[in-house]
Amino acid sequence: MKSPEKVSWRDGYHNEVTCVRCLEVYDQGRLDRMLWCDPCRFRARERAAFYGWIGGLVFGIFCAGYVWIAIRPTDLIVGAWVATLVTAVWIGQKVAREFIYGVMRFKNSRAAEAVPPS
């Protein structure tokens, strides 16, 4: 008995597909399921990482304000509070980076602004 063939989302496209961000034509194997090429994903990740650090620093500033105003740390364990705030910035930038990258992918705003290559 013959097993049914697996159906993939790539079956509905031709061998060469246009990236929706840069409008360059690529082999369909080089695009992801949202039709973004590797260079566009890389640039979006870099941009999200930059904005993620800004988000992480803002989160760290809010945490520092909370520690300074609500907790009022003593002078005995200043290093531990600094380490806590550095960790808050690092975790905050990771969360912000992934959130911003997801928003970029969801909005896909570059597709509307892209100019076809000449």
Model pLDDT for residues 29-61, shown as the tens digit of each residue: 888 888 899 999 999 999 999 999 999 999 999
Per the structure, the complete domain to which residue 26 belongs is given by 9-107
Asked if residue 78 is part of any domain, the answer here is yes
Give me the long-range contacts of 32-36 (CB less than 8 A, separation at least 24): 33/9, 34/105, 34/108, 36/105
Asked if residue 56 is part of any domain, the answer here is yes
Question: How many structural domains are present in the chain?
Answer: 1
pLDDT of 103 higher than 90 = yes
Asked if residue 58 is part of any domain, the answer here is yes
Give me the long-range contacts of 2-11 (CB less than 8 A, separation at least 24): 9/33
> DSSP 3-state helix, strand, coil percentages of the chain (rounded to 5)?
65, 5, 30
pLDDT-based confidence at 118, cuts 50/70/90? low
- Average pLDDT score, the chain: 87
Asked if residue 4 is part of any domain, the answer here is no
Give the pLDDT confidence score for residue 92 in this predicted structure. Answer: 98
Give the pLDDT confidence score for residue 11 in this predicted structure. Answer: 64
Asked if residue 113 is part of any domain, the answer here is no
Asked if residue 25 is part of any domain, the answer here is yes
What is the percent of the chain where pLDDT is above 70?
81
Asked if residue 117 is part of any domain, the answer here is no
Torsions phi, psi for 17 (to 5 deg): -130, 150
Asked if residue 80 is part of any domain, the answer here is yes
* pTM of full prediction above 0.85: no
Summarised one tens digit per residue, pLDDT across range 5-18 is: 776 655 666 688 88
